[in-house]
Amino acid sequence: MPRILLLIAIIFSVWYWWKIVKSLPSEKRRPFLWKTAFWSVLGFSVLLVASGRMHWLGAGLAVLVPLAKGALTLGLRALPFVQILSRFKTSPSQFRTKSLLVQVNFSTREMDGEILQGEFTGKRLSELSPEQLQILAESLKESDRESYLLLQTYLMRNNRGGSQQSYQANNLSELSEKEAYEILGLQPNASKEDIVKAHKRLIQRLHPDRGGSDYLAAKINAAKDKLS
């Protein structure tokens, strides 16, 4: 008798479930079917564990299958959104001269650099005292005009002195393609659209009124021209 009652309950449940499925709009049927599958697997696993026919670890693995499918579905749906967000990801911008390699990190709003040659080779600009920076500036002013311009920009952005310096754009060193990508903070396989967006973003952030300089603006424009 209990088995007959159980069979009747199962038949009624299936009939009622099928009625609900038929009444749902087509766009809601698939999520409903996945929910049904999840709860069915969970319920069946619990019964097997309770009856001693399945270890609880097996039940846990059985439940993870529909959960993994749901997570994968959500991940695929979110992928376009993640790709859109990745376009707005800001990478550090690097400016390289003969004597300096300066990096602008927009996430931390910090500008720092490494000295590539001379008395302070290997040191970071942030490690130098005001007196040492003055010595470096005097040295670069005589021997490496472009590095001197870059150093002045670093000093101004970090409130350590410095001043805008006049220069001639045609005296700037010619950029390699690698250097152009570094300035714009892009990977070598960047699209033309990415190049235009990076150029616009950098020009806005490194405008002289925002802690940048005419020199940096010229380098950014040169990088865009090189890659275009």
Q: Is the pLDDT of residue 87 over 50?
A: no
Within-domain flag for 201: yes
Phi, psi at residue 192, to the nearest 5°?
-60, -35
Tell me the residue range of the domain where 221 lies: 93-227
Within-domain flag for 26: no
Note the pLDDT of residue 127: 94
Q: Is the pLDDT of residue 68 over 70?
A: no
Within-domain flag for 3: no
Within-domain flag for 168: yes
- CATH number for 114: 1.10.287.110
Beta strands in the chain (DSSP E): 93-96, 100-105, 110-115
For the record, the structure tokens of 58 come out as 């097996």
Q: Is the pLDDT of residue 84 over 60?
A: no
Q: What is the pLDDT of residues 178-219, one digit of tens each?
A: 999 999 999 888 899 999 999 998 888 876 666 567 888 889
83 and 50 in a single domain? The answer is yes
Q: Is the pLDDT of residue 129 over 90?
A: yes
Q: Which of 89, 110, 130 is the last residue of a domain?
A: 89
Q: Is the pLDDT of residue 86 over 50?
A: no
Note the pLDDT of residue 85: 41
Average pLDDT over residues 6-31: 69
Q: Alpha-carbon distance 217 to 213, whole Å?
A: 6
Within-domain flag for 172: yes
Using the structure block, give the residue that is written with the tokens 């969970």.
Answer: 42
Residues in contact with 49: Cβ distance below 8 Å, sequence separation at least 6, in sequence order = 55, 56, 59
Candidate from 5-9, 47-51, 53-57 with smallest mean pLDDT: 53-57
| Residue 11 CB coordination number (10 Å) | 10
181 and 221 in a single domain? The answer is yes
pTM: 0.57
Within-domain flag for 9: no
For the record, the structure tokens of 189 come out as 């396989």
Strands 110-115 and 93-96: unpaired
Name the pLDDT band for 174 (thresholds 50, 70, 90): confident
Q: How far is CA 168 from the centre of its chain?
A: 36
Spatial contact of 187 and 94, defined as CB atoms under 8 Å apart: no
- Cα→Cα distances 140→39, 63, 104, 147, 168, Å: 72, 67, 21, 6, 17
| Residue 180 CB coordination number (10 Å) | 21
Q: Which of 89, 118, 133 is the last residue of a domain?
A: 89
